[in-house]
Amino acid sequence: MSEGTAKKEEKPRKFQAIRGTRDLLPPETALWNRVEQTAHEVFSTFGFGEIRLPIFEPTELFARSIGAETDVVSKEMYTFSDPPEAAENLRRFFEAISEVGDKEPISSASNLGEKTTIGEKHLPELYRLQEEWKKSDLASLRPEATASVCRAYIEHSMQHWPQPVKLYYMGPMFRRERPQKGRYRQFYQIGAEVLEREVASGEWRVASREGKEVTSGPPQAGVASKELAKDAAVDAEVIEMVMTFFDRLELQGVQLDINSIGDRNCRPKYVELLRAELLKVKDRLGPDSQRRIETNPLRVLDSKVESEQGIIATLPHIADHLCEACAAHYAAVKHQLEMRGVMYRENWRLVRGLDYYMRTTFEITAKGLGSQNAVCGGGRYDGLVELLGGPPTKGIGFAIGEDRLILSLQESGKEVASGEWRVASKERKGVASGRHGVDVYIAWMGERAHATAIRAAKDLRKAGFSVELPPVELKFGKALGQADKLGAKYALILGDNEVSEGLWTLKTLADGSQQKLTEPQLLDFLRKL
């Protein structure tokens, strides 16, 4: 610090939200609530129940499900080791030493001193604890929620619930990405998952009659095709649900892209073919795509680099390389979407950045978002629950980017379009001051009127009206000025005369008209509006 700055009086630090995070303020939060309320309503009509999940989970859960090599896990997660846990492990370690025969019992990490010697015989225990510590101690802020839902499915033995289990969630997710329009480090998702225990065996009927679980045995042809048809219907219904939700919100320019990325039978062969083809044109690709030829050739299809587009257009399409089952599944999904009147576009280049997807993948884009125009991504992930140590389970789900959804609604003026949004255009003046939706402003004058005003406010609020009650007496003109600033619809005028007559004056602020009403008449009048 230079002398000059040292002499200056130190100003208190001005705090700002961390880069990539932001405050959501009124009146915008009314739109967020409206969107979330609509999700609750629409999803429950499809038989989904809400699950609330922790914000942080073991790092390992995400590494294993999303894939340790993906950008999300390798670069973007907020990971920490919980200090109290670390101290607890240390304490247990030294306790362990004292148990195996050290003379100086050490009860806490804080009294570690030079006296402590770790004999060779303690080393195995040290390594064991170290391993345990490594595994148990790292936690990450969730970058997405599908892994958590699968963890919860296993933890609560949901395979014993009536199948399929249909869950939805909403809340913040965290990824350390470069912040820009529609891309934040704390962002919000609304998502849903359908999970179903796999009964791939021909003994299915026996199993259900005896109430026993059967998880092995080769699938019979009939059963297999029935399962395929069922999966396709589930996929289509999940997609139909998101589209219904967007439709209800009147989201503009909605475009659904679908694809099938095959399964573990056919995808590896296609990936090899793709890799071979990419190697032939390697020199003409940019550094990112060159790297992906080795790490994940599918992601090259996702490239937005202008000069690569012509080359990518000539690459083989996965649709031509799906195995019989995947091809049948994909055809059935398309048929099911058509039966539901869901418009889609096939996009053979649609792949997802998370490892767990198979067969159906889809993405939905909307208007007014620039290059971050994907508002929803989803797909099928059979096998993920099993990968996390659970029973063989099928899964399909999606995640909507709520921030982008809101942006798109705002861009198209949807936040003020419907009478249901409380922030209507007439109230814009109030909106500017951060308030909105005031129904009645009570202009009171005198102590007696104050008591009546407090009671009137209580009754009006109980009846569901938004009431503004000034905390101190204001001159009449000033009170009306405030009511106007807040965008109130009515001013209820309470002075000594009104109180003693029992007749209250209600002023309609839009046209300045006035009327005298008794208290019950006032409630009646407001209710009828």
Give the nearer residue to ligand ATP in terms of CB position, either 326 or 376.
376
Q: Which of 372, 410, 412, 466 is in the footprint of ligand ATP by CB under 6 A?
A: 372
Q: Which of 382, 403, 415, 498 is in the footprint of ligand ATP by CB under 6 A?
A: 403
Give the nearer residue to ligand ATP in terms of CB position, either 220 or 372.
372
* Interacting positions 329-368 with ligand ATP (CB under 6 A): 353
Q: Which of 65, 70, 189, 336 is in the footprint of ligand ATP by CB under 6 A?
A: 189
Give the nearer residue to ligand ATP in terms of CB position, either 362 or 465.
362
Q: Do the beta carbons of residue 379 and residue 259 sit within 8 Å?
A: no
Give the nearer residue to ligand ATP in terms of CB position, either 98 or 186.
186
For residues 373 and 355, give the distance between their C-alpha atoms in angstroms, rounded to a whole number. 22
For the CB of residue 411, give the shortest distance to ligand ATP in the complex, in Å.
Answer: 15
For residues 102 and 360, give the distance between their C-alpha atoms in angstroms, rounded to a whole number. 60
For the CB of residue 293, give the shortest distance to ligand ATP in the complex, in Å.
Answer: 20
Q: What residue spans of 314-372 are helical by DSSP H?
A: 324-339
Edge to edge, the sheet with strand 79-81 lists 56-58, 138-141, 79-81
Q: Which of 299, 394, 404, 436 is in the footprint of ligand ATP by CB under 6 A?
A: 404
- Could you give phi then psi for residue 430, rounded to 5 degrees? -65, -35
Extract the tokens encoding 203: 């003994």
For the CB of residue 194, give the shortest distance to ligand ATP in the complex, in Å.
Answer: 17
Per CB under 6 A, the segment of 219-227, 389-397, 399-407, 449-457 that binds ligand ATP is 399-407
- Could you give phi then psi for residue 362, rounded to 5 degrees? -150, 160
- Could you give phi then psi for residue 322, rounded to 5 degrees? -75, 145
3-state secondary structure at position 259: strand
Q: Which of 48, 93, 169, 184 is in the footprint of ligand ATP by CB under 6 A?
A: 184
For residues 277 and 259, give the distance between their C-alpha atoms in angstroms, rounded to a whole number. 21
Q: Identify the residue whose tokens are 């200056």.
A: 8
For residues 167 and 159, give the distance between their C-alpha atoms in angstroms, rounded to a whole number. 13
Q: Give the residues across from 401 on adjacent strands.
A: 189
Report strand pairing: 56-58 vs 186-197: unpaired
Q: Which of 63, 232, 375, 438 is in the footprint of ligand ATP by CB under 6 A?
A: 375
Count of CB atoms situated within 10 Å of the CB of 45: 10
Position 227 contacts ligand ATP (CB under 6 A):
no
Torsion of CA 423, 429, 433, 439, to 10 degrees: -60
Q: Cβ neighbours of residue 337 under 8 Å, at least 6 residues apart?
A: 236, 239, 240, 258, 344
Position 401 contacts ligand ATP (CB under 6 A):
yes
Give the nearer residue to ligand ATP in terms of CB position, either 323 or 374.
374
Q: Which of 190, 301, 311, 376 is in the footprint of ligand ATP by CB under 6 A?
A: 376
Give the nearer residue to ligand ATP in terms of CB position, either 378 or 437.
378
3-state secondary structure at position 494: strand
* Interacting positions 141-180 with ligand ATP (CB under 6 A): 144, 175, 177
For the CB of residue 171, give the shortest distance to ligand ATP in the complex, in Å.
Answer: 12
> Which of the 8 DSSP states describes residue 201?
S
For the CB of residue 146, give the shortest distance to ligand ATP in the complex, in Å.
Answer: 9
Q: Which of 325, 331, 374, 417 is in the footprint of ligand ATP by CB under 6 A?
A: 374
Q: Identify the residue whose tokens are 């932001």.
A: 22
For the CB of residue 79, give the shortest distance to ligand ATP in the complex, in Å.
Answer: 17
Extract the tokens encoding 196: 């179903």
Give the nearer residue to ligand ATP in terms of CB position, either 176 or 461.
176
For the CB of residue 511, give the shortest distance to ligand ATP in the complex, in Å.
Answer: 45
Closest residue to ligand ATP: CB criterion: 401
For the CB of residue 56, give the shortest distance to ligand ATP in the complex, in Å.
Answer: 17
Q: Do the beta carbons of residue 171 and residue 145 sit within 8 Å?
A: yes
Query: Which residues are at the interface with ligand ATP (CB under 6 A)?
Result: 144, 175, 177, 182-184, 187, 189, 353, 372, 374-377, 399, 401, 403-404
